[in-house]
Structure 1
Amino acid sequence: MTKRRGERPPVPETLPAPVVDAHTHLDACGAETPEQVREILDRAAQAGVDRVITVADDLKSAHWAAEAATWDDRVFAAVALHPTRTSTFGEAEQTELAKLAERPRVVAIGETGLDYYWDYAPKSAQHEAFRWHIDLAKRVGKALMIHDRDAHDDILDVLDTEGAPSTVVFHCFSGDLSFARACVERGFVLSFAGAVTFRNAQALREAARWVPEDHILVETDAPFLTPHPYRGRPNEPYCANYTLRDLATLRDVDPADLASKITRTAERTFGLRDVAES
């Protein structure tokens, strides 16, 4: 059993239409080199996951993600300091992130937001960093990718007070139907990870069933949150296939149709076509 939990899930049958993994961590999946990135993306392609956004959580990861996005045309990047890492967030870090954010294959500022589950950074530091990232997203004209853990009301309050960027994505959306409605009313996009497939996540599944088709994305957050029925095993971008199929069943729609609509939303949200053509 222990050995099995350490094994990756099988690569599933290819999706009938390709989809984008809107949030993954290729470095945390074990990738360091261009060859290792390509191996992960080739597995994803077998499952019909044709592009990924690899997301940073600290400055070292941000540099790596921005560089990795130049190694393979299927990879894009998001850069930020994760809210749990903001206890020391000064001018030097801000200068570096602002430079990275200007790179063409960096398509989002994230993940940033608030995390009240862990106490690694004071709330005051998290709020200050969140506001700075909101401003950065506005300055560079790129999507803001939100990390929200046990902080729904405060996240919305900060966004309302500061003025949200034109594009906001709630990564690994974890709210209920009421919170989903509040987000969609503001024009935000909700990205669902493997947790939405968990059979004990009924409030989350109810929200995912309701979200309008042009406000929904799918992600892995790999190597975390491996979808049902492989919960607890290592996650990779190809596992977005499992989440997509589960969402299609939950919403009673054709997987090909849902994949196509999610792909269009991902392309619009992150400007993927514009980047590819530049």
Structure 2
Amino acid sequence: MTAERDQKDVNVSRIAQARKKLKRLPVEQKIAIAPRSSPELLDLLLELKNPQVTLAALDNPNMNEKKILWIVRDLSTSAEVLDKIGQNKIWMRLVKIHIEMVKNPNIPKSLAMQLLSGFSIIDLVYLLGASRGMQPGMRQRMLDIFRQRISQAGEEQRTQLLGRGPSDVTQIIVDLGGDRVLSYAIRYNHIRQYHAIKIAKGYQSSPKLLTLLFETPPWGQQYDVRLSLLMNDNTPRDIRLKVFRGLTKADQENFRRKHRARGLSF
């Protein structure tokens, strides 16, 4: 243990000395040694956070995923450095790097937009939940891509994503509809009032879905939702009768007058 501790102390001292020497070197010399430095020296060069030195260091064969992730996660990394990383097809095949690149607010906008098209639906959901600080317009672009992709997905995948991302992701999924998706959304409170009214009014809403909506708080107690359920021919008669009996006398008479011609009676 003592020998190991002594060796560790020696290594720490050696790195500290190397760091001091490196800081005294002119920038031109740092740039010159960056592409061919050892892994340890490469780390010290990257610590300097000099854009020109980092650009040169990107050509070093000792550059690896861990070092690239450190660079792209650093909010002081320049657009030029991020652009060079983005042009490297090998690095950009790595999902972690791909994601962290887009999250960095210094990424050139054209590169960011190009990278967005390569994300899966799951990656987009994650990014939308971590979009604070991204460039203006990026979040809306991600939402547009997500909307396009999720509209082509099956109901099973849409249902699995409900509630997993930010609220606007959930609302896009609910807006696309589908009995399975909407049933899940109603049960687990992933809908808003305008969705509840839209479902209650919907001519394509199944009797089973309308019954679930009526029986699930708070929607079955909301007046506008109840009124929409009453007016929907797909709502089971027993539900409509319960809703009708809960109306005020004035609304009951108004409903009778409007719907007598349709052969409805309560």
Q: Which has the higher strand share?
A: 1
**TM-score, normalized by length of structure 2?**
0.27
Q: Larger relative contact order (C-alpha < 8 A, sep ≥ 6)?
A: 1
In our comparison, the structure showing a higher alpha carbon Rg is 2
**TM-score, normalized by length of structure 1?**
0.26
Q: Which has the higher helix share?
A: 2
